[in-house]
Amino acid sequence: MPLALDPNATFEIWLDSDAAVPAATRPVFVCRHMNDRALKSLASAQDRINAAVGADRVDLMHDELRKGLAGWRNMIDPQTKKAIPFDPERTLDVLNANEVVELVEKMANQAQATAADRKKSAPRSPRRSRRKSSKR
């Protein structure tokens, strides 16, 4: 089954600033694998984001991130010290603009790497031998 169609196929990313946090407590974003159409849309959205200003730009960035988000772990509210349940609409409450850009880039890079890995590991059709038959 193609990864983009498998609802259980996900990958994890995190912010560079959290890389040193132990894996058990590191804030992690769980992402869906994207097909090439979604990756193409993400690439064209970057042009729209770069052209947008103010609130429109922020909304576009978060919209693109939400398209690939399937969940998160270890998001802790600093005031209550309780876990923040996953809700894609809460990315505005959890992340700043620089972090959204970092995560969108990681999401796209991971999806592209996964697609490239699949191509490398795809079974190849057996080659036919090109030996010339010897006439006796």
Judged against a pLDDT cut of 50, whether residue 134 lies above it is answered with: no
* Separation of alpha carbons 52 and 2, rounded Å: 34
Q: What is the pLDDT of residues 7-27, one digit of tens each?
A: 778 899 999 999 999 999 999
Contact 70, 30 (CB under 8 A): yes
Q: What is the pLDDT of residues 32-69, one digit of tens each?
A: 888 888 888 888 887 888 888 888 889 989 998 998 89
* Separation of alpha carbons 134 and 136, rounded Å: 6
> What DSSP letter does each residue of 39-93 carry, written as one string?
HHHHHHHHHHHHH--HHHHHHHHHHHHHHHEEEEE--B-TTT--B----GGGHHH
Contact 108, 42 (CB under 8 A): yes
Residues 6+ apart with CB under 8 A from 133: none
- Number of Cβ within 10 Å of residue 50's Cβ equals 9
pTM to 2 decimals?
A: 0.76
Q: What is the pLDDT of residues 107-117, one digit of tens each?
A: 888 866 655 56
- On the CB side of 38, CA atoms within 13 Å amount to 22
